[in-house]
């Protein structure tokens, strides 16, 4: 096996196959503002609260890759968008953290989060299914847009983006942002991912938009991703779609990446972030032991997964043990799943918004993800 550096951490490289040594892919610890609102139960054995035991319910990291074929419809939209293998490069959120040590102040940070009210939505650990992830066909038109007040010069990309026929914004039935939500417009076009915050296309066809982040899925990205101090369509500067989970992933039985989660601004550290994040906000107001953007929480290894009410919930819980969840934005509903309008599987009967309601803040630990960065307000874009 060979050791190599990746995004500031030291990893063990080896050939990963089903049933391979658990050290494969395990990590060893190493050395512009968006005020966003918004199988076998082997892992149930009591193995201690530190999360040091590897969750063995996923046989290998490649088992959850979505290989469902994409079926292009006559409208130019697709009926399925793969949600596991986005980037050709292995990204930080695809690396298991079950064996990483907790942060030295994990207990204090968890206690502070509980004291500040815990999760959002009256401390309910709930799932939001409103994020629509679209795929563009070869003939999908590219649209230019007029930046609105939520576009940040330097951080954001002002380039044409594809708008599939018959698609929709997050939380909307179409492309008009009528509910005053985040109104994310997320489209994959081949090897490029377009993610826009606060998009709006009105009835007359006028297109205005907030921050657009364009992600080259074949590029080798540095740990600063799009740039140090730079936001994206999410406050933490991260891509959104690769951190959400889909009905197809859950139906297949495994989620092979960390999951996007959000907290109210009062629980998030003021102007501070940790990797893999690249950005924080002034709207976040927590001081001592606040949760910085990019923080990774891991479900305790001895949480009784079998007690959850659905197999879908058990799939998500196993992912939270193995990969954790990453703080990406400010808001109320804790976990983000992709809408099933573009997937083969459907959420109905698979997973309910409240199926993880028994997961308490105290069931998680803060993973030690290295040094914290203070956000200066400046964005230094990656060339």
Q: Give the whole-angstrom CA distance, residue 181 versus residue 160.
A: 23
Place of tokens 């299914």: 129
Rounded-to-integer distance, Cα 239 and Cα 328, Å: 9
The secondary structure of 30-78 as a DSSP string is: ------------GGGS---TT--S--TTSS-TTTT---PPP-B-TTSBB
Q: What is the pLDDT of residues 54-73, one digit of tens each?
A: 333 333 333 333 333 333 33
Of 133, 330, 324, which Cα lies nearest the Cα of 231?
330
List all residues 6 or more positions away from 74 whose beta carbon is below 8 Å from its beta carbon: none
3 state SS of 125: coil
Q: Write out the two tokens for 49.
A: 């609260």
Minimal CA–CA distance to 58: which of 341, 293, 316?
316
Q: Which residues pair with 208 in a beta bridge?
A: 146, 200
Per-residue pLDDT of the chain (383 residues; tens, 9 = 90+): 333 333 433 333 333 322 233 223 323 223 333 433 332 333 443 333 333 333 333 333 333 333 333 333 333 444 345 445 799 999 999 999 999 999 999 999 999 999 999 999 999 999 999 999 999 999 999 999 999 999 999 999 999 999 999 999 999 999 999 998 999 999 999 999 999 999 999 999 999 999 999 999 999 999 999 999 999 999 999 999 999 999 999 999 999 999 999 999 999 999 999 999 999 999 999 999 999 999 999 999 999 999 999 999 999 999 999 999 999 999 999 999 999 999 999 999 999 999 999 999 999 999 998 999 999 999 999 99
Signed CA dihedral, 111, 116, 117, 118: sign only = negative
Which pLDDT tens digit goes with each residue over 313-336?
A: 999 999 999 999 999 999 999 999
**Secondary structure of residue 272 in the 3-state scheme:** strand
Measure the CA–CA gap between 24 and 21, rounded to whole angstroms.
6
Asked if 115 contacts 178 with a C-beta cutoff of 8 angstroms, the reply is no
Q: Which two tokens stand for residue 17?
A: 């196959």
Q: Is the pTM of this model over 0.85?
A: no
Determine the longest span between alpha carbons in the chain, in angstroms: 59
DSSP assignment of 124-162 equals ---EEEEE-EEEB-TTPPEE--EE-TT--TTTS--S-EE
Are residues 260 and 60 in contact, defined by beta-carbon separation less than 8 angstroms? no
Give the percent of the chain with pLDDT over 70: 78
Q: Using CA atoms, how far apart are residues 165 and 152, in angstroms rounded to an integer?
A: 27
Return the half-sphere exposure (C-beta side, CA atoms, 13 A cut-off) of residue 221: 25
Q: What sign has the CA pseudo-torsion 52, 53, 57, 60?
A: positive
| Domain locations along the chain | 36-143+217-381
Residues 64, 69, 73, 76, CA torsion sign:
positive
Q: How far apart are CA 255 and CA 273, in angstroms?
A: 25
Bond before 276 cis per omega within 30 degrees: yes
Structure tokens at 327: 């703080």
Residues in Cβ contact with 365 at an 8 Å cutoff, skipping those fewer than 6 apart: 49, 50, 51, 102, 103, 106, 110, 297, 298, 300
**The pLDDT value given to residue 121:** 96
3-state DSSP call for residue 120?
helix
Alpha helices in the chain (DSSP H): 106-115, 120-123, 247-252, 311-322
């Amino acid at each position: 096996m060979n050791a190599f550096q990746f995004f500031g951490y030291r990893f063990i490289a080896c050939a990963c196959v089903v049933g391979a040594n658990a050290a494969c892919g395990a990590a060893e610890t190493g050395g512009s503002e968006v005020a966003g609102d918004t199988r076998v139960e082997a892992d149930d054995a009591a193995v201690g609260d530190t999360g040091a035991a590897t969750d063995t319910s996923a046989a290998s990291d490649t088992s959850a890759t979505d290989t469902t074929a994409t079926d292009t419809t006559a409208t130019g939209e697709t009926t399925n968008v793969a949600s596991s293998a986005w980037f050709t490069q292995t990204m930080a959120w695809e690396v298991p953290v079950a064996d990483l040590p907790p942060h030295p102040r994990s207990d204090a940070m968890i206690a502070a989060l509980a004291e500040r009210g815990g999760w959002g939505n009256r401390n309910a650990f709930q799932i939001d299914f409103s994020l629509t992830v679209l795929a563009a066909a070869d003939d999908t038109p590219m649209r230019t847009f007029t930046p609105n007040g939520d576009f940040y010069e330097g951080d954001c990309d002002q380039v044409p983006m594809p708008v599939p026929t018959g698609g929709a914004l997050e939380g909307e039935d179409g492309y008009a942002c009528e509910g005053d939500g985040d109104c994310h417009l997320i489209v994959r076009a081949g090897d490029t991912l377009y993610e826009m915050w606060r998009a709006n296309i009105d009835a007359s066809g006028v297109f205005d938009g907030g921050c657009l982040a364009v992600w080259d899925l074949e590029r080798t990205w540095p740990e600063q991703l799009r740039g140090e101090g730079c936001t994206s369509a999410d406050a933490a500067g991260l891509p959104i779609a690769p951190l959400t989970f889909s009905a197809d992933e859950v139906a297949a039985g495994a989620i092979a990446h960390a999951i996007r989660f959000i907290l109210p601004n009062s629980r998030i550290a003021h102007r501070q972030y940790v990797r893999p994040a690249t950005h924080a906000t002034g709207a976040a107001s927590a001081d001592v032991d606040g949760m910085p953007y990019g923080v990774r929480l891991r479900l305790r290894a001895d949480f009784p997964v079998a007690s959850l009410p659905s197999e879908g919930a058990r799939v998500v819980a196993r992912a939270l043990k193995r990969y954790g969840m990453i703080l990406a934005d400010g808001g109320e509903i804790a976990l983000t799943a992709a809408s099933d309008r573009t997937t083969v599987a459907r959420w109905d009967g698979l997973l309910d918004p409240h199926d993880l309601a028994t997961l308490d803040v105290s069931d998680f630990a803060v993973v030690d993800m290295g040094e914290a960065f203070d956000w200066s307000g400046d964005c230094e874009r990656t060339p």
